[in-house]
Structure 1
């Protein structure tokens, strides 16, 4: 992909900007964040894939300020002053281009539509969900338990959240392989991400039409019947965003937590029966290895200042959630305050943060998935050296490409 032409103003404000994509993030994103802090402070000029300029809020206070002030940092990307620098095939275009999803609405419209989506998710029966996830996990483990070895990413954590979401959406299980592939691709870099996004949205649009004709006890049917009056296009956009955010983040949350428990002696000592340690590990991962590293984004509604930097009206601000969680001004010692402390920004913050019902659904899925694994395979162990594990190449998501393990089949 060729770099777009940038104005002289962009070049001035982004002098010394860091390349915010590529292999460095895959291997050690925290090193990149530390370097940005040293050179630029809590807000850094960055170049996204394709050389597209943006600001990244790295500081905890700065991310909190941006997400707490939607009138100053809005979600409507139509105000972006950088659209002329965005290539047509930019992989992030599906996530910033204006669309009928609730995430791009603002003010009263967002509160009405966001409230309706939260109601739809809150209508999910948590007891039934936990039971369904247990069945999903047992079925997946049955598929590989006899071998004594498995890749817990491909064969377990990447399957569970989407299979659970298919039930919440009223979709058949046989659609899982295609959706797993396309939703994962849509969060990566490159041309195929755009095409994968288009395929998933098309399926969600078809689903919205199906539920209008044959409603059930599921999220799209709830939205169809809601008095807000959603169009099929709005429902499809919201279903895609919910699926993309819910599936990938929940999968990586589970995978990253299992990795922590298999590699850190603080958790390994209680691995065989460690019910208490599962919740602690899940919370620590949200602080130290959060599935959503960075989020695009917010757009300044007027000229302002953030972290000592001049932000122009229409500038794009990336939320550096992982960097904010490890901000040394807030948490000078690694791991300090993680136990029992849920003030992390992994679910973002403010009226555009992850709805609480969605957080609870993710927590049920991850907790159940790990507990069933430990019940069924109590001596599960990492099959490779920890340093040989490979992280998926994404600036936005933090997750492993594979998690090979061995165990004894009883």
Structure 2
């Protein structure tokens, strides 16, 4: 009884009628139904175009060869509406995503299991052994490796850790594929998209919701950011950029074609457009060039409870709330409050009673070396940025400074 076998062992094998023994043709492809937890083989395509229902096929093994016997000639119609995959067209030699390794890999072979319920795809082979098996060179290559006391490299990825990348017209199917990938960290998704070819890059990126797409775009290399935005519609690109921090958008606009930048600024909201343009005016090597305007500022007359209401309303990103910045009526910075102090304080307590007035600030036109020295000396996670009138302009996060230094060198 056959329990497991590789696709390379059966591709091109003949299919016979069980009773008459006539050869019906040779296997050209298998279709699987992805509605099952492990994709189930539902049809066998023969060279010449005939597609047979897999439930009518029995598999027999004689040594290293496999024989397929057809009990009755029942065709199988494969429609675009179903969740069917052609393994030759969508899997063999194609890029897939290894969700466990969080990278793009190439499929060299496929592993099947035979159980009473049918034939199921259980794993993909991305190792050298799979490629050599396809070329019918696995045995001689194993002998070569054994001479050096090594094993022929092989690697199977279980189907649960696999995500195919179809770029077809079925948007629902593509959205379902991207759902698993969206669960990964934005940095991992960015790496995956950058490793895909151009068409699949666009298909995957467009299928992401705008929030996730913004997080992913932020993690990409500048060259990849430009390529993606160049190939998006102005409306779609503006929608994604609206979800990003203004300083990140300003950085991207610094390397984009200026005609595209002007078109994007026209489509974006007036508030975001003005923020981005202000940040773009700062010269390189100044604090303003790294400053973010995404922060939480609070009025000195607010209570602790008022601050929590503000936080729940704005839902800021984690890296923008190291401190809450307390300002007066003139928007001048007069203190900061940490989340810890806010959490342990009584809800009715006025914010000015718990704020820290010994605040390290830096001017937006100061040099980056001055900023780096301040962060290093006082071990600050973030620094408030003010203008010449001590009005709060923004903040610089230490991780952004580190990112700048790494890319500079």
Give TM class, smaller chain. under 0.3
From the two aligned structures, give the one with the greater helix fraction: 1
Larger Rg: 2
From the two aligned structures, give the one with the greater strand fraction: 2
Q: Under a length normalisation based on structure 2, what TM-score does the superposition of the two structures give?
A: 0.23
